[in-house]
Amino acid sequence: MIDGVQVIDFHGHVGRWDRYGMNDEPARMWHAMDAAGIDRACVFNIFHPDGTTGNDLTAAFVAQHPGRFIGFAYVSPLMPERVLPELSRALDGLGFAAIKLYSPYTPWPLNEPPWEPIYRFADARGLTIIMHTGSEPQALPKLVGEVAPRYPHANFVMGHSGNTPVERGQAIAAAQANPNVYLETCSTFRSPGVIEQLVNEAGADRVLYGSDLPLMDPRPQLGKIITAQLSDAARRQILGDNARRLLRLKS
Amino acid sequence: MTSLTFRPRIPVFDANVRVGDLSGQPAPCRDRAALLAEMDRHGAERAVIYHALTEEVSPVEGNLLLEPWLGTDGRLVPQWSIMPTPASLAQVQGLHRQGRVTSVRLHDTRVAGLPFRPWAYDPLLAWLSAQRIPVWIPLPGADADELVTTLQGHPDLVTVLVGAHYTHHLQVRPLLTRLSNAHLELSRYEPIGEIEALRDEFGAHRLVYGSWYSQYAMGPMLFYLHHTDLSEEELALVCAGNLERILGADPNNQLGPVSDRARHGQEPDHSSRVAP
């Protein structure tokens, strides 16, 4: 909790990626979260194309730490026959709150047909999808800008807000054009003025704090928001209020 | 206690600030006054600065462009860039004779067209070591094997390894182990919990706060350091004291690893910690 705001980290992982020091040891994650006042983190496992394996790991992780972590479902069109059954199982059976997509693990850009069943599923239920965006041809933010108007009841959160300057511009343009597009902030490209740019050009109600924990420590990523030249009202929206609205959190 | 606003609670000396434009990236601060205003906004009292042109084009010309940034109040400390050419060495040796060299910087040791090998760099490094001039080396432009191989031949040379990213994670511990006079600058090092872990394993005296402004924002890593379980003494070292020592200003402020401190009865008093 920071000055009365329940802080929600919208971008986190379950699993290990040892070459980069990523380690989902809960004590290490809690320590970092508690030291900076981060209440909850949204987590997903993107390393298993069947969806089921990673989602079960995510569910077990969340179940061990109730109240601190919120599970998101991961599916991949690499195994298309599993996509819809796994989404139903993860959302209805495991209690996950949203969907995570990672297109660089596939050959398909985000505006191509293999992704459409997922978008239709989210649109029918009014769900939020967070997708990796960046300079990879499968993950360009402008593709989300093409998709979002076709699924007006779904919300699309662009992880990393495109990451680099050209793609960041695409992400902002997509958010400006579509009321159901949001911008998430985690990135090691911490250029001066980036957070201010997102807020000034897309609106504070469209920006979400995320850290990529435990690949990255959530504290410097939180510091990006706290030390940016923003109003306290904007910081409150980014750190928690927007996430609570998207995830329909009651507590 | 975290708040929606942040100011550092100890003096801050930023070890890594770039001034001036890259050819394709104009700097957000156009002059010294603007940079000082940005530092004031984040609570940084002093900074070591180098010029962008030295990184991209020419250490010799870029060093000349550093002069208008310096002023006379000591807030901006020059870091002269150097490469193993006669012109570059002559320039820095001239500055050294004037008593104006407290550190130098080697850019892109992997991609400059000259391997960072003893046969190429030994004369330069031997001079720096003999003059007790510390050298900053950006890790994104370096080869870890070359760093260890070459720097081990100059065990007294003090180095600051700059800009480690999470993609350098597997290199950091071996580098700090093999290079006992190396320090890690923290501008981009974000693997979870690693500040505290490196403090425990190597000691706070091996860690140095730098922002690498204007490539990166000045505030996030300062915020991070203030929300770790570093003691106040350790925080002060990382945010300023170690850099002062490296630059020759204060040879006495040093804390070893936890294990060493415990062994020598020097464990810092954690009762003075400010709750994060």
Q: In this structure, what CATH number is given to the domain that contains residue A161?
A: 3.20.20.140
Which residues on chain A are in Cβ contact (under 8 Å) with B38? 192
Out of B169, B222, B224, the one facing A21 most closely (by C-beta) is B169
Which comes out higher in pLDDT, residue B252 or B121?
A: B121
Give all strands of the β-sheet with B46-51 in edge-to-edge order: B13-19, B46-51, B76-78
Min Cα distance B222 → chain A (Å) is 8
Min Cα distance B122 → chain A (Å) is 32
**Domain count across chain A:** 1
> Scanning every residue of chain B, which has its alpha carbon at the shortest distance from the alpha carbon of A236?
B4
Q: Rounded to whole angstroms, how far apart are CA atoms B212 and B49?
A: 9
* pLDDT higher than threshold 60 for residue B252: no
Binary contact (A193, B222; C-beta < 8 A): no
| pLDDT tens digits along B121-138 | 999 999 999 999 999 999
Identify from A7, A186, A209, A227 which residue to disrupt to test chain B contact, counting B C-beta atoms within 10 A and taking the largest count. Answer: A227
Q: Rounded to whole angstroms, how far apart are CA atoms A245 and A230?
A: 20
| pLDDT tens digits along B69-109 | 999 999 999 999 999 999 999 999 999 999 999 999 999 76
Mean per-residue pLDDT for B250-273? 42
* pLDDT higher than threshold 90 for residue B262: no
* pLDDT higher than threshold 90 for residue B112: no
pLDDT value of position A190: 84
Give all strands of the β-sheet with A155-159 in edge-to-edge order: A8-13, A40-44, A69-74, A98-101, A128-132, A155-159, A181-184, A207-208
**Band of pLDDT at residue B268, cut at 50, 70 and 90:** very low
Provide the residue ranges of all domains of chain B, joining segments of one domain with +. Answer: 13-272
CATH number of B13-272: 1.10.3720.10, 1.20.200.10, 3.20.20.140, 3.90.1640.30?
Answer: 3.20.20.140
Mean pLDDT of chain A: 96
Out of A21, A220, A236, the one facing B221 most closely (by C-beta) is A220
pLDDT value of position A250: 82
Contacts 24+ apart (CB under 8 A), A82-85: A82/A50, A82/A51, A82/A52, A83/A51, A83/A117, A83/A118, A84/A117, A84/A121
Q: Rounded to whole angstroms, how far apart are CA atoms B218 and A191?
A: 9
At residue A208, the 3 state secondary structure works out as strand
Query: What residues pair up with B17 in beta bridges, in sequence order?
Result: B49, B213
**Band of pLDDT at residue B265, cut at 50, 70 and 90:** very low
Sequence-ordered alpha helix ranges (H) in chain A: 26-36, 52-64, 80-88, 116-125, 141-147, 165-177, 194-202, 218-226, 232-236, 242-247
**Band of pLDDT at residue A43, cut at 50, 70 and 90:** very high
Confirm whether A2 is domain-assigned. Answer: no
pLDDT value of position B56: 86
pLDDT value of position B257: 55
Confirm whether A61 is domain-assigned. Answer: yes
Tokens representing residue B135 in the block: 């050298």
Identify from B18, B139, B188, B227 which residue to disrupt to test chain A contact, counting A C-beta atoms within 10 A and taking the largest count. Answer: B227
**How long, in residues, is chain A?**
251
Whether residue A101 contacts residue A131, with contact meaning beta carbons closer than 8 Å, is answered with yes
Which residues on chain A are in Cβ contact (under 8 Å) with B42? 227
Which residues on chain A are in Cβ contact (under 8 Å) with B219? 223-224, 226-228
Q: Rounded to whole angstroms, how far apart are CA atoms B189 and A209?
A: 19
The answer to whether residue B188 neighbours chain A at the CB level (below 8 Å) is yes
* pLDDT higher than threshold 70 for residue A83: yes
- The residue type of A240 is G
A8-13 and A155-159 beta bridge pairing: unpaired
Q: Is A85 left (phi over 0), alpha (psi -120 to 50) or beta?
A: alpha
CA-wise closest residue to A213 among A7, A24, A5, A2: A24
* pLDDT higher than threshold 50 for residue B260: no
Tokens representing residue A148 in the block: 């979002």
ipTM above 0.90 for this complex:
yes
Structure-derived torsion over alpha carbons of residues B67, B182, B230, A218, reported in degrees to the nearest 10: 80
pLDDT value of position A243: 98
Q: Rounded to whole angstroms, how far apart are CA atoms A123 and A129?
A: 10
Structure-derived torsion over alpha carbons of residues B26, B31, B33, B38, reported in degrees to the nearest 10: 20
Out of A3, A190, A192, the one facing B3 most closely (by C-beta) is A3
Mean per-residue pLDDT for B192-205? 97
Confirm whether A152 is domain-assigned. Answer: yes
Whether residue A95 contacts residue A66, with contact meaning beta carbons closer than 8 Å, is answered with no
Q: Which domain holds residue A63?
A: 8-247
Please work out, in degrees rounded to the nearest 5, the angle formed at the alpha carbon of residue A121 by the alpha carbons of A120 and A125.
110
pLDDT value of position A154: 98
Give all strands of the β-sheet with B135-138 in edge-to-edge order: B80-81, B104-105, B135-138, B159-162, B182-185, B207-208
* pLDDT higher than threshold 60 for residue A28: yes
Confirm whether A218 is domain-assigned. Answer: yes
Measured between alpha carbons, how far apart are the two ends of chain A, in Å? 13
At residue A26, the 3 state secondary structure works out as helix
* pLDDT higher than threshold 70 for residue B38: yes
Only one residue has tokens 């020419």, namely B58
| pLDDT tens digits along A200-235 | 999 999 999 999 999 999 999 999 999 999 999 999
Confirm whether A239 is domain-assigned. Answer: yes
Confirm whether A171 is domain-assigned. Answer: yes
CA-wise closest residue to B69 among B83, B48, B55, B98: B48
Whether residue B128 contacts residue B157, with contact meaning beta carbons closer than 8 Å, is answered with yes
